[in-house]
Structure 1
Amino acid sequence: GEIRIPDRAAILIELAFHDTCDLDAVRLRDSFWTSGAMWGIYKGICQYFGTTPTWGFYSSEYVSDTIPSQLAPGEVRQVSITLRNRGVVWSEAKAFRLGAVDDSDPFTTETRHTISGEVAPGQTYTWTFNLTAPSTPGNYITDWRMVRDGVTWFGATVQKTIQVGGEPDTQPPSAPTNLSATAVSPTQVNLTWTASTDNVGVVGYRVYRNNTQIGSTTGTSYSDTTCTSNTTYTYEVTAYDGALNESARSNQAVVTTPATTDYIIDNPQATFTGTWSTGTMSVDKYGSDYRYIGTQTTETGTAVWRPNIEVAGYYDVFCWYPQGTNRTTAAPYIVYWNGGSQQINVNQQTNGGRWNTLVSAKPFSTGTNGYLKLGNATGESSLVVMADAARFLKVGDIDTQPPSVPTGLTANAVSQTRVDLTWTASTDNIGVSGYKVFRNGSQIGTSVSTSYSDTTCSPNTTYTYKVSAYDAAGNESAQSSPAVVTTPGDTTPPVISSVAATGQVGGFKVTWNTDEPATSQVEYGLTTSYGSLTPLDPTLVTSHSVTVTGLARRTTYHYRVRSKDAAGNESVSGDYTVKTK
């Protein structure tokens, strides 16, 4: 229907382009087409009241320019032209550009300058480009106008006559001063500086980060929004004029961005195993989508959210999921932190669309060792486990200060196989939990007191000991000064026991034992002077056996056994007799 109010205009508007039915929605989402419809309404109202429209479908209005009136031969000057859109939306996608009139210009071969983004009706747009003066002095005209390539030229013409002659501007601006940098967030640094001066005029400033240009500005401030958390940056700024003379660099401003302490990991950044589906329909999701998998009695799928912690501390861990009646009532979330873990079963049929606390104030070290895991082994049937987002929020500082270094370390070799150590206790801001003992660079044990006995030594061996202290947070001190000790050598011969002999035809067999590994040898003869010696068996054993052959039959022989340990200490048994057969 149409409503008419006496003495007032009434308009019934229906927006539909109707090239084809499937294009209606496309056109309505296209800003060029909708702005065309707006202009059509504007024109219709003007016609209704018998008024000529001020602006056409394609229209532009001159605002300003920085084109100079004079240039030296061969001089390069950066200029700008600013126009206001008075018609439909401009964009590069629709071939709207700033063009050199007649597609030529004596100052440049670049006759088209494009638009970034869109310029809506009423908005202004500034093109910045370089003009290079001809080498021959004289008066030259540069003129520019809006064009929709392939359709029409339109709007105001920016025309300037430039006198080419004289000497070019070769003097750079003064260097910017008082550059300061402020890290306002983990990813943003704000810069400010004092303006430069120039004999003609400063056009703008170039911003450098770690010696690489990252941007430019016409003012005396700049925001770098491309930073990384917990990172140190060095900034410098230069000024340049219309002739593109660039100043020396400003003073350096060094800044470190703060570390991230609040980590939100959405499901696209999580790691999945098994077959998960992607959903978008739930309105209480985090971000644009979520994952889900059917419940099982055994685990067939997992999701892991793993932050890269920059600052060690105590963290709260949260989960986010879209709720529903087909969700599990016992989603098995497991949080892993520095030195522990905990499983929390969550009912995903309620409390969806928000951060739900899983654990509070758990210690997380730097790096990626801590994480959140979710599986689908709930034991339920015909339900799904939802995996959406996780959050790790630092709520407290963790002890990062190590104890002091232990002092006064002494080492005493109390036996061939034992060294006793003592030292002076360390101190710590919270408390020393214990000490690590190192021998020749390798840890061999720990102690909660200020002493330690190393019972794994070898005789006649030199050892170097050091000790470090550690606290409950795992902070470890540097190692103490070394204590060097040599264990005494072995001077004790082996003890011989259980000597026995068995007569054999023309010989005999002797057996005996020693209390430590030793060699084997037998002395024998018809008297206690012996006179004969079996070949030395150098094998170090504790159970010995030697057979003597080539003797007279049915004769009594004297014998004794000899054994020597690894240190060269030798034992000789008493005299024994045996009769051959």
Structure 2
Amino acid sequence: MPVGGYYDVYVYYQIGANRTVGAPYTVHYYGGSVTSVQNQYSSTPNQGGWFLVGTNLPFLGGTAGYVELKNNTPDTLLVSADAAKFVLVAPFLAPVITQQPQPAEQSVTVGQGASFTVEATGTAPLSYQWRHNGVPLAGATASSYTRNNVEISDAGNYSVVITNVAGSVTSLDAVLVVNVPPTITTQPQSQAVIQGGNASFTVAAAGTAPLVYQWYFDGQPLADATDSALTITNAQPADAGSYAVEVLNLAGQIMSDPATLTVNAPPQIDEIRVLADGRFELQISGAPGQYVVEATPDVAGVVSWTALTNFTVTTTNFQYYDSETGLARRFYRVRWTP
């Protein structure tokens, strides 16, 4: 057949007394065959001619369709036809996409579902094969494709190849964006500072960018506290309390664990006494923690402090004994160390 399509098939024979009353004609075509029984005999002149033995039968272009004529009686008589002809009724139409995959782009959150649909015309049947990033998807052979419980790996380009007897066509890509809700990978940590010192809280989070941060103090949002780190300068007792941060993106939000800020009063030397052996005893008060005691012989001009000891205390009142003796004068100070 020069053109693939649907054909009506005819046979031709002349009228005559030697014709059969039931000649079976089997037409073989693309995908099947059909049998038609024709009465070739008649006593009336001019009853021969073209007889339709099959209608709308599909034939591929470039193939040779044929009609098979057999004897329908249990004798040895031969039956024949003088000619056969194939009349093109409608050519096969290659698939044409009338609507590219829709939606052309969609965004979903991990765990949700996503669907794409395409529309096409052409000679039936149309077959479909959806692809993800160019790789065929098993079982995705309908005009629509649905992916349930989407994972990160499902993000990418989706297209479909549509095929029929006349050819094939590939759609444009449709894009699936998979958004990941934020997760906190490093929680902010509690800390203690001396009054007047600085405190910093940090958080680390993962998820689809951009990530947005909002810090809270005792459950209330802090103005302009929208970074992954929060710094409190010159901390005062009023700053002590619970700090947390909310991390948001277009797929969701999550609140961090609370972190506690403790603001301790600075240590002070309440009393210095001279012992009988000439040593100095310092009575010190302050919050439990780590401290360093420093001394200098003079506070005039450029002062150079010398560390005498480092120690950790668990009470709010403690003593330090200076091992030096016979000093005319000495100045002391106590610092809290983080």
Would you call these one fold, judging by a TM-score over 0.5?
no
Q: Which one has the bigger strand percentage?
A: 2
Under a length normalisation based on structure 1, what TM-score does the superposition of the two structures give?
A: 0.24
Under a length normalisation based on structure 2, what TM-score does the superposition of the two structures give?
A: 0.38
Q: Which one has the bigger helix percentage?
A: 1
